[in-house]
């Protein structure tokens, strides 16, 4: 029980720290540097993700180096479990994120964001097939509640911005598959305890950064923007923000390790609610009654999705909170 409570705490912290990352990177992407031309606006998410994951990998190297585990962590790349972590990294990072950016281009950010919110359901389906990760009916209801209100949150803020919607929908389907499968494959890779969460994260960020640098950026002409970012103050900010992203991934991987992929995803998507709250305090974004209601429902759904049947009773929820 105590291990599960730690897993729930890790999952909630992964959502909160990812919300911090999301809000701050949103500010950076709205800066004059990333808004100068239509091409730069399109390339900005790809270039910022490349720097984000590369710098996150460096932060993990420093962290693991201090612990004296860096050499051991890098050696895990050649193991069978390490290969599964690499596959998950490719699906979630370069593949999932690239198709997400392309879908934003063709159907708009709001619809792409709201549709991508169904990735935990895809992940849950494959976790059931591959890992035999079973949820109760109440857990499924909780997952559905979170996904529904994230979808409503994104859909209510805008519509389609392009006529080429078929291509956009195709891209978002690839994105959903990539993000959903990433968690399942990572969980499978960490199943044998051959690769621990922090080691898996080091491999994930390194593989993602290298793939972006060698394949994604050259494919889309992204290197034209790289020098401008490096010699600008935005690069320092991205490096700092990458710390929050690294912390989020550490918590997320620990939650996957402790709770399994489906419950970890259910807690991680609470970042949509945390982002609303943080946007109010950091950027002064107005909060409406609708946003508050949506946030509460997202968080409530996340809790229901990970709780065991007995823990859904009010007394047991209070007891679980005191022993977390």
Q: How many CA atoms lie within 13 A of 25 on its CB side?
A: 24
In this prediction, residue 323 carries a pLDDT of 40
pLDDT for 166-189, tens place per residue? 788 888 889 989 988 998 998 888
pTM for the model stands at 0.83
pLDDT tens column, 247-280: 999 999 999 988 888 888 888 888 878 888 888 8
Highest mean pLDDT among 45-54, 93-102, 125-134: 45-54
Number of domains forming the structure of the chain = 1
- Which residues are within 8 A (CB) of 241 and not within 5 positions of it... i.e. 6 or more apart? 21, 24, 25, 28, 52
**Which residues constitute the domain of residue 287?**
2-323
Distance, CA of 253 to CA of 196 (rounded, Å) = 9
DSSP single-letter state for residue 33: G
Of 48, 19, 34, which Cα lies nearest the Cα of 279? 19
Instruction: Give the pLDDT score at 321.
Output: 40
In whole numbers, what is the pLDDT of the chain averaged over residues?
84
Mean pLDDT lowest among 38-42, 199-203, 289-293, 303-307:
303-307
Cβ atoms within 10 Å of 160's Cβ, excluding its own: 15
Q: Is 10 exposed, middle or buried (0-12, 13-18, 19+ CB in 10 A)?
A: buried
Closest CA to 201 of 104, 77, 303: 77
Tokens of 288: 């409406």
Mean pLDDT along residues 91-119: 79
In the numeric block, the tokens 């909630």 are attached to: 12
* Residue 4 pLDDT greater than 90, yes or no: no
């Amino acid at each position: 029980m105590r291990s599960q409570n730690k897993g729930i705490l890790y999952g909630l912290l992964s959502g909160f720290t990812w919300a911090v990352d999301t809000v701050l990177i949103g500010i950076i992407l709205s800066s004059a540097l990333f808004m100068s031309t239509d091409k730069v606006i399109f390339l900005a998410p790809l270039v910022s993700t490349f720097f984000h994951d590369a710098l996150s990998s460096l932060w993990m190297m420093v962290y693991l180096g201090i612990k004296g585990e860096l050499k051991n962590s890098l050696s895990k790349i050649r193991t069978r479990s390490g290969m599964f972590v690499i596959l998950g990294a490719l699906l979630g990072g370069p593949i999932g994120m690239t198709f997400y950016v392309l879908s934003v281009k063709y159907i708009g950010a709001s619809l792409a964001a709201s549709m991508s919110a169904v990735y935990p359901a895809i992940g849950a389906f494959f976790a059931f097939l591959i890992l035999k990760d079973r949820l109760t009916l109440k857990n499924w209801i909780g997952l559905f509640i979170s996904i529904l209100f994230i979808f409503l949150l994104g859909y209510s803020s805008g519509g389609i911005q392009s006529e080429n919607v078929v291509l956009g929908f195709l891209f978002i389907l690839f994105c959903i598959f990539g993000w959903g499968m990433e968690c399942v494959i990572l969980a499978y890779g960490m199943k044998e305890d051959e690769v621990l969460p922090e080691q898996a994260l080091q491999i994930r960020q390194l593989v993602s950064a290298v793939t972006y640098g060698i394949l994604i950026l050259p494919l889309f002409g992204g290197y034209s923007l790289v020098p401008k970012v490096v010699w600008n103050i935005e690069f320092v900010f991205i490096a700092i923000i990458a710390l929050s992203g690294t912390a989020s991934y550490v918590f997320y991987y620990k939650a996957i390790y402790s709770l399994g992929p489906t419950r970890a995803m259910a807690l991680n998507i609470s970042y949509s609610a945390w982002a609303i709250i943080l946007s109010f305090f950091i950027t002064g974004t107005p909060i409406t009654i609708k946003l508050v209601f949506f946030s509460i429902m997202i968080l409530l759904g996340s809790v229901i999705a990970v709780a065991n049947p007995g823990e859904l009773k009010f007394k047991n929820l209070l007891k679980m909170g005191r022993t977390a």
